[in-house]
Structure 1
Amino acid sequence: MWPVNKGIPLTSDFANGGVSFWYRQIGLPARRPALPGPRDYDVAIVGGGYTGLWTAYYLKQADPGLRIAILEKEFAGFGASGRNGGWLSAEFAGSRKRHAKARGRQAMIDLQHAMFRSVDEVIEVARTEGIDADIHKGGLFHVATNPAQRRRLRAGVADLRAWGYGEDDMRLLGRDEQRERLQVAGALEASYSPHGARIQPAKLAVGLARVVAGMGVDIFEDTTVTEIRPRQGSGAAQAVTTREIVSADYVIRATEGFTANLAGQHRQWLPMNSSMIVTEPLPPDVWKHIGWQGSELLEDNAHAYVYAQRTADDRIAIGGRGVPYRFGSRTDRRGVTQRQTVELLWRMLVKLFPAASEARLQHAWCGVLGVPRDWCSTVHLDHASGLGWAGGYVGSGVTTTNLAGRTLRDLVLRRDTPLTELPWVGRQVRQWEPEPLRWTGVQLIYALYRAADRRENERGTTTSAYAHLADLISGR
C-alpha cells in the first residue's frame, strides 16, 4: 500500500486495486474452465461483461436451441461490469443531435424511451432470476454547486424536454425539497429523475453469469481472444484465441474498454480510465446530517464530474476520471488508483458531504470504459461477415448493455423490431488518431475541463471558454 496524505483517514485494512470493493465485499467467483480445444457455435461472444452476458441471455431465451459461447480473458464480470459506480440509469452516451441525424428526431426520442424501459427491465430480470444485487430504485440527482453549473443544469433540463423527457421524467427541485432529501454542501440547485437505481454491480455480473450458464451457454474463462476474423466465402467467422480457434455463424465483440487489445482494433475505442473510492459504513448520526434516505444516485454538474451512491450497507462510494488515459491505449490490470486521484476524490467527498469528513476510506480501485471517437454508443451486426459488436458506452453502460443485448438478439435472429430501428444501430465511427496525438489530445481535453471547473468555482457565472475548447477538441 502506498502512503497517502495524512489528512485522509484510512481503515486498517485499506486496499488499493487488486479487485473492486464490490468483489471484495462478496468474494471472487470460482473460475470456470478455459477453452479446451477448437469449437463450433452458432454465436460466439468475445467478452464476459454485461454486454456479452445480456446478449447470451436474450438469445438463449428466444431460441433455446442456439449453441452459444462466451470467451473471457479473465472471469465473467472482471472488467467495467464489476468495477463501475453501480448506476442503473437512463442516461445515454453521446450527442442526441448526432444520433438524430441517422434516422430522425423521433428515433432519438424512441431511443431515450427505450432507455427508460431498460432500467425497469434490468430490475425485473434480476427479480425473476433471483439475482440479489442490492437494487434500489431511488432515482437520480444532478447537483449544481456554482452559478455556471446551475445555468447548465437548467439548460440541460430544458433541452431534455425536446428529447423525450416529460415533467415526470426530469424536473428541477425546489431548494427545500432538495435539502430535505439530500444535504449537499454548497448546492444551489438540483434536478431529479426517477429513472435511476443503485446496484451492487459485481452481484449483478456474478448473478447474471450464473443464470446464463444455467441456460446452457458455455462460458470459457482464462481464454484470451487475440483476433476476430470475418466469414470468408462459405466459411464461418472466427474468434482466434491463444489456445484454439472458435468458429461461429456470428462472432460478437463485447470487449468495451479492452477492444484495443484485439488485432486491428487498436484505434477503435479509446480505453478511458475511471477511479473510485469507498468509505467504511457511516454511523446514523452522520446520515442524520446528510439525509440521502432515498439512496438516489448522485452526480455533480462539473465538467470533470464525480458520481456517487449510498451503498446498501451505508457507505459512500464516489468516483471520477482521475488519470483518464494511458499512452498507447494501455490498461492497468491491477486496478490501482494513483495517490493524487484518491486525494482528489476524497476532497470532493468531503466538499460535498462535510459531515463525512471523519469517515475512513476502505478501498480504492479503477477500471476502463470504451470511448468512440464521436463519444456515441453503437450496436451493429453485419450478416455478410458474421461480425457484430456493441459498446462505446462512455461510462453509461450498466443500463445500455441491456438494451444492446436485446438489440443484438433481434439482429442475430433477423427480426425487424423497434429496437433494430433505433438510431444507434449500425453507426460507423472513424478511428482515433494515432499516438502521440491520441494521448496528447486526451490529456489536453481533461486539463481544460479541470481548468474550466477551477475558473467556474472561483468566479464564473457562465460556462468557461476552456470547457468549450475541450468540447471542440474532443469532438463531442
Structure 2
Amino acid sequence: MKPVSAPDVTAPADRAGLGFWLAEQSDEDLTPGAPLDGDTHADVVIVGGGYTGLWIAYYLTEFAPQTKIVVLEAKQAGFGASGRNGGWCTAEMPSLLTTLVGTHGPMAAMRMYRAARATLDEIERVLESEQLDAGWRRDGSLYVARTKPQLDRLRAWRDGRAQLGITDFRLLDPDEAANSIAVRDATGIGFTPHCAAVHPARLGLGLAQAVRGRGVTIAEGTAATAVRERAVVTEHGTVYAKAVLLATEGYTGGLAGRGRAIVPLRSHAIATAPLGAAAFERLRWRGAPTVTDSRYQFCYLNRTPDDRIVIGGRGVGYLLGSRLRARPAAERAVHARLLATLTDLFDGIGDVRVTHGWSGLYGLQRDSEPSVVFDKETGHGYAGGYGGEGIVLSNLAGRTMAALVTGTRRPETKLCWNGRTPSRWEPEPVRYAGIRGIATLATMADLFEDRTNRTAPLAQVIMKSVV
C-alpha cells in the first residue's frame, strides 16, 4: 500500500472536529440545553448523556413513570462517542463472545448473545414508537477476507459459533461472493444478518428529545466534579438523589478515584464526499450492509444515507496516563492510513474526496468485558466497558440498569455482566507499555500475513490479548 498524505478535509472549520455525523446537524440541534440551575433533588441522577445514560433514563420512565430523573452531561447529549462512532448497530460481538465463553461458560455466553440479538428488535421498536429518524437500515454485515489466514479465521469463527448453536453467520458460496461487494483480492466473504447501519448523531439527539418529552431533565454543559454517596457535585450545583448512576464509559477515568477502572481507547474515522448510487453499483455494494476486513487491526465501513463511505479504524489508540486528546498531527496520520486503506480495498472507487476526519473514545475494562453494577445499599451504579460495541450493548445496559434500580423483574437482570466489578488496570507506565505493545504486535502480525500469506506466529497471543 502506498503511503498517502493526510486527506484534505473540506468540512467547515468550525465543525471539522465534530465528525460527519454531528457536523451535518442543524445549529439548533447542536446548541446545548441549559445547565443545572442550583441544587436540586431527584430519585435518580445519571452522570453522562450518551447512549447509556439516555437509555437508562428512557427505561426508567418505562418501568417507573413517576421517577424524577436528572441527567448530567459535560457537553451536549450525544456529543461524545455516541455521536462519533462508525454507525454499526451489531449483535455479533466477535471477540467478546469468545471471552464470555471462556469466563462464564457457553450457556451464559449464549444468553448474552441472544439478548444482544434481540436488542436489535428492541431498538427498532423504540425508533418506530418514538418516530425517531436515525437512518436505520438493517441489511446485515459483510466480513471480507483478503488472505488465506484471514479466511481461516472467518472459517474458525463460523465453526466456533456453530458449536454454540449460532448458525446465522455463513460464508458466501463462490457465486454469491462474486456478486457481492467488489473488494480487491477477496479470498472469501462472510455474512451475518444481525447488524443495522444507523446514524449515530441522530440516534443520540433523538433519544435526548424523547426522554425530555417524558419529563427527564437533561442538564447540559454540566460536568460532574465529585461523586458522593447519594449526591453528585457540579460547578452549577449539587444533585441529591437516592440513586447515583455513572454512564461515563471512556470518560470514567476523569472522576476522582476511578483512573484505573477503565481505559479510554481512541478510534478514528473519515467520511468521503457523496459518491452517488452509480459508484456503489460499481462496487456491488447493494443496500446498506456494513463492511469490515478480517485483519487484527481491522477497519469498519458504513454506507451513509447520502451515499458517502465512512471508514474507521484504530490508531494512536491509547495515550500515556489515559489522556483524552491526541496530537493533531498523529490524528491526521491515522486519517491518511484510513484513506489509503479505502483505496486499497476497492478497485473501482475512483478519485475520493474526504470531507470529514474525526475520532472518538470508547472504554475498555481490564478483563475486556462490559459490566452493569448497582448496589442497593449505597444507591451507586455503573454501566459500560463495551469495547467498541456500544450501540447495541448500551440499550441492553439501559434496560438492565433501569430494572435493577426499580426492582423490576426482567430477564436482563440475570445476564452474566450483572454485578461484575473487574480488576483495575495496572499503574502507568506498565499500562501504556502493555496496551501499546499489543497494538504493535497486531500491526506486525497483519504485515507478516500480508507479505507471506501465512498465519502470524504471534496470532494466538494477539487473539487472547486485552486489545
User: TM-score normalized by structure 2?
Assistant: 0.94
Task: Report the counterpart of residue 260 of structure 1 in structure 2.
Answer: 253
Which residue matches 2:39?
Answer: 38
Q: CA deviation at 1:467?
A: 3.5
**Structure 1 residues 226-250: Cα deviation after superposition (integer angstroms, max 9, x where no partner):** 22223xxxxxx11122332211111
Pairing partner for 1:468 from 446, 451, 460: 460
Q: Counterpart of 1:42 in 2: which secondary structure?
A: strand
Q: CA deviation at 1:5?
A: 4.7
Say which SS state the counterpart of residue 120 (structure 1) adopts. helix
2:413 counterpart SS class: helix
Residue 174 of structure 2: aligned partner: 175
Q: How far off its partner does 1:374 sit?
A: 1.0
* 8 Å CA contact retained: 1:9, 1:359: no
Q: Does the Cα contact within 8 Å between 1:46 and 1:71 map onto a contact in 2?
A: yes
Residues 85 and 319, structure 1, Cα contact 8 Å, conserved in 2: yes
% identical equivalent positions: 38
Deviation at 1:134, TM superposition (A): 0.9
Counterpart amino acid of 1:198? A
Question: Are the counterparts in 1 of residues 268 and 359 from structure 2 also a CA contact under 8 Å?
Answer: yes
Q: Please, which runs of 5 or more residues in structure 1 have no aligned partner? A: 231-236
Counterpart code for 2:173: G
Give the superposition deviation at 1:96: 3.5
In structure 1, distance between residues paired with 2:8 and 2:193: 34
Superposed displacement of residue 78, structure 1: 0.7
3-state SS in 2 of match to 1:374 = coil
| Amino acid of the structure 2 residue aligned with 1:74 | K
Q: Which residue of 1 aligns with 2:25?
A: 26
Q: Which amino acid aligns with 2:192?
A: S
Q: Is the 8 A contact 2:151 2:188 kept in 1?
A: yes
Native 8 Å contact 1:93 1:376 kept in 2: no
Post-superposition CA distance 1:140-193 (Å, at most 9, x none):
111111111110110011111233412xx2111113212313111111111111
RMSD after superposition: 2.1
User: 1:57 Cα deviation (Å)?
Assistant: 0.3
The answer to whether the 8 A contact 2:45-2:72 is kept is yes
Task: Say if 1:391 and 1:401, in contact at 8 Å, map to a contact too.
Answer: yes
Does 2:146 align with 1:140? no
Question: Which structure 2 residues correspond to residues 19-418 of structure 1 after superposition, within 5 A?
Answer: 19-27=18-26, 28-92=29-93, 95-96=96-97, 98-100=99-101, 104-166=105-167, 169-230=168-229, 237-332=230-325, 338-418=331-411
Q: Deviations over 1:358-396 (max 9, x none)?
A: 020000000100000111111111111111111101101
Unpaired stretches in structure 2, ≥5 consecutive residues: none
SS of the residue aligned with 1:407?
Answer: helix
After TM superposition, the structure 1 stretch with the greater mean CA deviation from structure 2, 412-421 or 256-265, is 412-421
* 1:445 alignment partner in structure 2: 438
3-state SS of 2:52 partner: helix
Q: Is the 8 A contact 2:316 2:326 kept in 1?
A: no
Structure 1 pair 336–225 and aligned structure 2 pair: CA distance change class (3 A): farther
Residues 102 and 423 in structure 1, CA contact (< 8 A), matched pair in contact too: no
Once residues 259 and 176 of structure 1 are traced to their aligned partners in structure 2, the CA distance between those partners, rounded to angstroms, is 48
Contact 1:16–1:365 (CA under 8 A) maintained in structure 2 = no
One-letter code aligned to 1:259:
T
1:61 is displaced (CA, Å) by: 1.6
Contact 2:97–2:113 (8 Å) recurs in 1: no
User: Residue 226 of structure 1: SS of its match in structure 2?
Assistant: strand
Return 127-136 or 104-113, whichever deviates more. Answer: 104-113
> How far apart in 2 are the matches of 1:97 and 1:310?
28
Q: Counterpart of 2:153 in structure 1: which amino acid?
A: R
- Give per-residue Cα distances to partners, 1:252-305, cap 9 Å, x unaligned: 110001001001010111000000000001134422320211210111110000
Alpha-carbon distance in structure 1 between the residues aligned to 2:339 and 2:415: 40
Q: How many residues align?
A: 463
Does the Cα contact within 8 Å between 2:6 and 2:336 map onto a contact in 1? no
CA distance in 1 between counterparts of 2:316 and 2:326 reads 15
**Counterpart secondary structure, 2:18:** coil
CA distance in 2, matches of 1:39, 1:456: 58
Q: How has the CA–CA distance of structure 1 residues 327 and 67 changed in structure 2, closer, same or farther, with 3 Å as cutoff?
A: same
2:418 counterpart (422, 425, 439): 425
Deviations 1:100-155 (A, max 9, x none): 46664322211111111101211121111011011100001111111111101100
Question: Contact conserved, 2:319 with 2:326, CA < 8 A, in 1?
Answer: no
Would the alpha carbon gap of residues 414 and 110 (structure 1) be closer, same or farther in structure 2, given more than 3 Å must change?
same
Distance 2:98 2:272 in 1: 39
Following the alignment from structure 2 to structure 1, what is the Cα–Cα distance between the partners of residues 451 and 339?
Answer: 20
